[in-house]
Amino acid sequence: MTSVLSLEQFWQSPSRQLLAYPNGDENTLTRRWAELQALDLEFIESYGPKILAGLNILGLGYCGVVLRVRYQGIDRVLKIRREPSPQVSLSVEAKMLQRANAVSVGPGYVVHSDNFLLMDYIDGPMLVDRLQELQSLETINRILAQLIHQAYRLDQIGLDHGDLRCITAHALVHSQEPVLIDFSKASLDRRPANVTTLVQGLFISTYVTNLLRPWFPHVNKLDVIEHLRRYKLQPSSNHVSRLLEYLGLNGVSYT
């Protein structure tokens, strides 16, 4: 069940600590309260699988506390910079998300300030949970082909996501569309390794690999490594096509 709090109610409740979780002092909280008000949210929702400081939240990572909020009549996601946090502001993540959006990757960016990032809410389970319940190879193929294409598009624009090894935590699935999330470690200054990292995460020795194995009995790790080695030498569409072909994902319709 979702309960909602007006901004004022949120600020008067113990959940206000989430504005600078876990160590924000009173001054920091007060500054962030002013910053939050400037975003013009309609209300905060208590919604999601975790409870933190008395509020149901969508998630908690190293960088952010992630809440559902209502903005301009639509449920959205508010990522709040943790205190302390590895980043000095959410501006870089906001910029990376916008770049990713330009190639139709990631949740839609809405607005940000130093300590808040507002984006579209992805209504769907984590990729691993979705894979576990799927019964059709066609749907699995479709999701994986889309993911690899998304990673390829990020490689093409020189944006390295930086956290795709942990694909279990960083892909959600809305109906049958995978959405890569969390651009907090993304960078334009490294050589992008999205396709290689993603495909390693999917097909080489992780929990996801065990889930996929029964659906991909023909896939052999050494062959995957060889395809990735070639792609790494020359990240071309030709090498992605060959990889997809090897995995049996070529010709999969995903639009």
Question: Coil, strand or helix: which one is 110?
Answer: strand
CA angle, 90 then 96 then 70, to 5°: 60
Q: Omega into 192 within 30° of 0, i.e. cis?
A: no
* Two tokens, residue 80: 């709040």
Contact of 200 with 243, CB cutoff 8 Å? no
Partner touching 59 among Mg ion, ligand ADP, none, CB below 5 to 8 Å by kind:
ligand ADP
Sole window of 10-18, 26-34, 115-123, 147-155 interacting with ligand ADP (rule: CB under 6 A): 115-123
Binding positions for ligand ADP, 151-170, rule CB under 6 A? 169
Name the residue number minimizing CB distance to ligand ADP.
Answer: 61
- Window 146-185: residues binding Mg ion (CB under 5 A): 182
> Of residues 18, 41, 66, 252, which one binds ligand ADP by CB under 6 A?
66
- Per CB under 6 A, does 77 bind ligand ADP? yes
Taking CA atoms, 220 is separated from 174, 225, 238, in Å, by 29, 9, 20
Q: Shortest gap between Cβ of 241 and ligand ADP (angstroms)?
A: 30
Which residue, among 131, 135, 153, has the nearest Cα to 202 in the 3D structure? 131
Question: With respect to ligand ADP, which residue has the nearer C-beta, 107 or 178?
Answer: 107
Residue 242: CB minimum distance to Mg ion, A: 31
Q: Which is nearer to Mg ion, 19 or 58 (CB)?
A: 58
Return the amino acid letter for 14.
P
What is the 8-class DSSP label of residue 18? G
Using CB under 6 A, pick the residue from 10, 116, 121, 203 that binds ligand ADP. 121
